[in-house]
Amino acid sequence: MINRTGQTAKNIISEHSNLVTIIMGIFVSYAITLPIAAVFAYILMFTDFPQKYLPTAVIITTLLSIVIAGWVSTKSVKSKGWLNGGIVGIVYMLILYILSSVVYRDFSINMHVLTLFFIGILTGSIGGILGINLRREPRATSRNRK
């Protein structure tokens, strides 16, 4: 069945599937980030953990979350994993920017913010590329060939 714009139902479902996996990737990224942030807050509250290491821990947590989210966002796509992952990375960073801007009441955009956005996009793209290229495809065995 083809609609007025020339798209088949399969193409529409495929596009929807990409959106769903991208949203799923973003949820996964925050599902990883929030508990780790809570653990760090707990550690800071009850120990003498040097605060100078906190920004490094936050960046590592963020990058790990975005890579995994980029990977998850390619679950049902066959190509353009870099694009899905990059979208996840930019949306993750956009949400983080908006939340931190509201908390600190500072919506300024400077080189630090732009660098973090670039790193988020790049990291998400790497996760998407890994998700496509390291996917386990079912192997053709002698039983499957019959």
Judge contact between 127 and 85, C-beta under 8 A: yes
Judge contact between 129 and 82, C-beta under 8 A: yes
8 DSSP β-pair partners: 2
| Domain extent listing, the chain | 9-135
Judge contact between 72 and 28, C-beta under 8 A: yes
Would you write out the chain's pLDDT as a tens digit for each of its 146 residues?
555 555 665 665 566 557 888 899 999 999 999 999 899 888 888 888 888 888 888 899 999 999 999 999 888 788 888 988 999 999 999 999 999 999 999 999 999 999 999 999 999 999 999 999 887 765 555 555 54
